[in-house]
Amino acid sequence: MQCTAKSKRSGEQCRNHAVKGKTKCRIHGGANDGPPKGNKNALKHGAYEAISLETMTEEEIAYANAVTLNPCETLREQLKTLRVKEARIAKRLKKAKDDMENVGRDDGTGRKIPAMVVLTGTQGKQVDAEGRESTSLSTASETQEMHYLRLDAAHSMVLEQIRRVSDSLARMEGEGGEESRNGVAIVLDLGGGRKHEGDGN
């Protein structure tokens, strides 16, 4: 079977044979299975991390359920999720601060805390023309200080999102809450100059 990859420049299909059981040749990724589903290999700070019940730990689910809110249901769930996200980033921020302050010292396991943090690692398998497999590893890293600053900025961003959602909830409660908003226009501040208007019904 011929590789299904096409040239971006000419639009012509690749002339190589596809890897057995795949649709692409070894050059176009046919030998690489990619990371497992749901992995967190590319996670840098967590501000854009998708969080749902399926991705939460039991402790985080218990924390989200313990958060008591009484305004509109749609924003309740958003606020719970943001608070779980903030708690996750706060844990990462604490660890990053400890690591930054202790670079070069023993981490308690006999290893020294490195000056650089590996952000992502990608492992790929390749098959040469004779069918021999080889593994390659590529990584992206940054200093402990840069890592801490990135996490701190992400933490501030999530706290700002929590503030905006909380303000929206407070405004909605001030206009009568869920039960008594009959026909009152509700304006939600979605951040970035975007607003959403509804009639409250």
Amino acid sitting at position 178? E
pLDDT score of 193: 53
Q: Does residue 136 surpass a pLDDT of 70?
A: yes
Q: What is the mean pLDDT of the chain?
A: 78
pLDDT-derived band at 190, boundaries 50, 70, 90: very low
Q: Report pLDDT digits (tens) over 84-118.
A: 999 999 999 999 999 889 888 888 888 888 888 88
pLDDT-derived band at 184, boundaries 50, 70, 90: very low
Q: Does residue 149 surpass a pLDDT of 80?
A: yes
Strand partners, 191: 194
Tokens standing for residue 74: 């749609």
pLDDT score of 83: 93
Identify the CA nearest to 167 among candidates 189, 184, 186, 185. 189
Euclidean distance between CA atoms 19 and 134, whole angstroms:
15
Q: Does residue 39 surpass a pLDDT of 50?
A: yes
Q: Does residue 141 surpass a pLDDT of 70?
A: yes
pTM over cut 0.85? no
**Mean pLDDT within 63-73:** 69
- Three-class secondary structure of residue 80 per DSSP: helix
**Mean pLDDT within 19-47:** 75
H or E stretch at 155:
helix 144-174
User: What percentage of the chain has pLDDT greater than the value 70?
Assistant: 78
**Mean pLDDT within 167-176:** 79
Q: Does residue 186 surpass a pLDDT of 50?
A: no
Q: Does residue 192 surpass a pLDDT of 70?
A: no
Euclidean distance between CA atoms 28 and 14, whole angstroms:
9
Strand partners, 125: 135
